């Protein structure tokens, strides 16, 4: 259940919700970090649930005590930007295998009760599972629930490709197709639930592999920004060449993504 940071519960009616799926390479979570950090989004609440692996730590977006670095962070927190009418739910730990359906039900219930105009699920899928048709073009794919089909024209104008269905029985019966998102965590199940519950949902995913997935996170957020216009692009070609397409601000906690370096004393 959602627990607000203040005494009163904020209204999210008509807002856009962005949430990551805990998937291969943690690309969705890294992308959510970039959005929260760049927009300097304040925390407005957290999720209290037994469906996620427990976790507690320092504020991942601050670097000093004066900046709130000593603020306790948990496994599922909600950040908001009222000017952009945007909410980001950051999920930092995996969903327990025995609680996957319960978590999906909880999330869909909160989305519906909050009155979000649309929900964008950031996800990823194993690159080595792509079939021949998925090897063409960019690694970005999208899915839209029936309640958000109106956004399809805009996404196609951006050059995005809808996630292809693959053969359920390759080489035996290629006419029967299925939705296949290996490594996508709750992505497929949540998409199916939102289709059934008439929830406006867009899944934006990237084919990737495990490793240093920071570049994948930048790729995903840049594509998302082309659609939602969260951050302005550099006005000059010179700045764009220096800073890249978008000047995303990396959270201070990313310094610990790969731990400390190799101690020289071992040599």
Q: How confident is the model at residue 243 (pLDDT cuts 50, 70, 90)?
A: very low
Structure tokens at 231: 């951050």
Query: How high is the pLDDT of residue 232?
Result: 87
Sheet holding 140-144, edge to edge: 2-4, 43-47, 76-81, 86-91, 16-20, 118-126, 201-208, 140-144
Query: How high is the pLDDT of residue 66?
Result: 63
Name the more confident of 224 and 235.
Answer: 224
In the chain, the percentage of residues whose pLDDT exceeds 90 is 68
Tokens 């570049």 appear where? 215
Query: How high is the pLDDT of residue 171?
Result: 64
Mean pLDDT, the chain, whole residue set: 89
Domain spanning 17-257, CATH architecture: 3-Layer(aba) Sandwich (3.40)
Tokens 């397409």 appear where? 245
Say if residue 106's pLDDT is above 70: yes
Q: What pTM did the predictor assign?
A: 0.90
Residue-wise over 234-256: b if at least 16 C-beta within 10 A, else e? eeeeeeeeeeebbebbbbbbeee
Collapsing DSSP states into helix, strand and coil, what is residue 98?
helix
DSSP class of residue 40? T
Query: How high is the pLDDT of residue 201?
Result: 97
Name the more confident of 133 and 214.
Answer: 214
pLDDT, one tens digit per residue, over 6-39 is 888 889 999 999 999 999 999 999 999 999 999 9
Q: How confident is the model at residue 265 (pLDDT cuts 50, 70, 90)?
A: confident
Say if residue 44's pLDDT is above 90: yes
pLDDT, one tens digit per residue, over 64-100 is 666 777 788 999 999 999 999 999 999 999 999 999 9
Query: How high is the pLDDT of residue 264?
Result: 79
């Amino acid at each position: 259940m959602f627990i607000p940071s203040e005494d009163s519960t904020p209204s999210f009616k008509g807002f856009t919700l962005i949430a990551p799926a805990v998937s291969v390479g943690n690309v969705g979570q890294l992308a959510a970090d970039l959005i929260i950090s760049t927009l300097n989004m304040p925390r407005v609440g957290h999720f209290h649930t037994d469906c996620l692996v427990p976790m507690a730590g320092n504020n991942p977006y601050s670097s000093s005590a004066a900046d709130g670095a000593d603020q306790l962070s948990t496994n599922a927190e909600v950040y908001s930007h009222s000017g952009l009418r945007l909410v980001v739910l950051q999920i930092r730990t995996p969903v327990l295998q025995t609680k996957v359906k319960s978590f999906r039900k909880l999330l869909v219930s909160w989305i519906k009760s909050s009155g979000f105009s649309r929900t964008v699920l950031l996800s990823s899928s194993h690159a080595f599972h792509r079939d021949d048709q998925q090897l063409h073009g960019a690694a970005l794919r999208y899915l839209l629930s029936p309640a958000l089909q109106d956004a399809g024209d805009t996404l196609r104008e951006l050059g995005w490709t809808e996630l292809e269905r693959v053969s359920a029985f390759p080489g035996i019966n290629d006419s029967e197709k299925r939705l296949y998102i290996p490594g996508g965590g709750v992505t497929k199940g949540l998409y199916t639930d939102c289709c059934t519950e008439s929830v406006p949902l867009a899944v934006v995913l990237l084919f990737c592999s495990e490793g240093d997935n920071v570049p994948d996170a930048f790729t995903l957020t840049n594509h998302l920004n082309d659609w939602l216009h969260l951050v302005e692009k550099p006005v000059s070609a010179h700045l764009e060449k220096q800073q890249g397409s978008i000047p995303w601000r990396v959270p201070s906690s990313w310094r610990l993504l790969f731990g400390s370096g190799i101690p020289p004393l071992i040599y």
